[in-house]
Amino acid sequence: MKTMIAFLAAPLLLTGAMASAAPMAAARQPVPAEASIPFVNHGGVWNWQADGSHGLYVQDQHRRWYYAKLMGNCFDLPFANAVGFETRGIDTLDKFGTVIVRGQRCPIMSFTLSDGPPVKAKKG
Report CA-CA distances (Å) from 26 to 29, 95, 112. 6, 21, 19
What letter represents residue 101's amino acid? V
Exposed/middle/buried for 77, CB within 10 Å: 0-12, 13-18, 19+? buried
pLDDT tens-digit map of 94-109: 999 999 999 999 999 9
pTM exceeds cut of 0.85: no
Pairing of strands 92-93, 65-70: unpaired
**Looking at the 3D structure of the chain, how many domains does it have?**
1
Q: Report the distance separating Cα 32 and Cα 95, nearest Å.
A: 12
- Which residue range forms the structural domain that includes residue 73? 37-114
Domain membership flag for residue 56: yes
Q: Is residue 13 part of a domain?
A: no
DSSP assignments along 15-36, one per residue: HHHHHHHHHHHHHHSPPPPB--
In a domain, 23, yes or no: no
Whether residue 87 is contained in a domain is answered as yes
Q: pLDDT confidence of 121, banded at 50, 70, 90? A: confident
